[in-house]
Amino acid sequence: MQTNNGSAHSEYPSLNNTMLTDYYELTMADGYFESGMAEDIAYFDMFFRKIPDGGGFAIMAGIEQLVSYMQNLKFTDEDIEFLRGKGEFSEGFLEYLKNFKFECDVWAVPEGTPVFPYEPLITVRGPMIQAQMMETFLLLTINHQTLIATKTNRIVRAAKGRGVMEFGSRRAQGASAAVLGARAAYIGGAVGTACTIADEIYGIPAMGTMAHSWVQSFSSEIEAFEKFADLFPNNCVLLIDTYDVLKSGLPNAIKVFKEKKPAKMGIRIDSGDITYLSKKCRKILDAEGLQDCKIVASNSFDEYVIRSIMDEGACVDSFGVGERLITAESNPVFGGVYKLSAIEKNGEIVPKIKVSENTEKITNPGYKKVYRIFDRDTHKALGDVITLADDRIPEGDPFEIFDPEFVWKRKIIENYEMRELQVQIFDKGQLVYDLPDLDDIRNFCHDEIDNLWDEIKRFENPHGYYVDLSKRLWAMKDRLLNEHGKTLEHRD
Find how far residue 197's CA is from the centre of its chain.
19
Q: Indicate if the pLDDT at residue 489 is higher than 80.
A: no
Q: How many separate helices (H) and strands (E) can be counted in the chain?
A: 16, 21
Q: Indicate if the pLDDT at residue 431 is higher than 90.
A: yes
Q: Indicate if the pLDDT at residue 377 is higher than 50.
A: yes
Which residues have CB under 8 Å from 429's CB, separation 6+?
A: 70, 101, 102, 103, 104, 126
Task: Please provide residue 437's backbone torsions phi and psi, each rounded to the nearest 5 degrees.
Answer: -65, 150
Domain 149-326 CATH class label: alpha beta
Q: Indicate if the pLDDT at residue 10 is higher than 60.
A: no
What does DSSP assign to residue 146?
H
Average pLDDT of span 189-212: 97
Tens digit of each residue's pLDDT (9 = 90 or more) over 39-51: 999 999 999 999 9
Q: Are 488 and 407 in contact (CB under 8 A)?
A: no
**Three-state DSSP state, 43:** strand
Tens digit of each residue's pLDDT (9 = 90 or more) over 393-425: 777 777 777 655 555 567 788 889 999 999 999
Q: Lowest-confidence range among 164-173, 303-312, 399-408, 470-479?
A: 399-408
Tens digit of each residue's pLDDT (9 = 90 or more) over 22-34: 999 999 999 999 9
Start-to-end Cα distance in the chain: 54
For residues 271-280, b (16+ Cβ closer than 10 Å) or e, as one string? eeebbebbbe
Distance CA 385, CA 341 (A): 17
* pLDDT of 487: 61
Q: Which CATH architecture has domain 23-148+332-483?
A: Alpha-Beta Barrel (3.20)
The DSSP bridge partners found for residue 237 are 266
Assign 3-class secondary structure to 260-329: HCCCCEEEEECCCCHHHHHHHHHHHHHHCCCCCCEEEEECCCCHHHHHHHHHCCCCCCEEEECHHHHCCC
Tens digit of each residue's pLDDT (9 = 90 or more) over 325-355: 999 999 999 999 999 999 998 889 999 999 9
Ordered by start, the domain boundaries in the chain are 23-148+332-483, 149-326
User: Can you give the pTM of this predicted structure?
Assistant: 0.94
* pLDDT of 402: 64
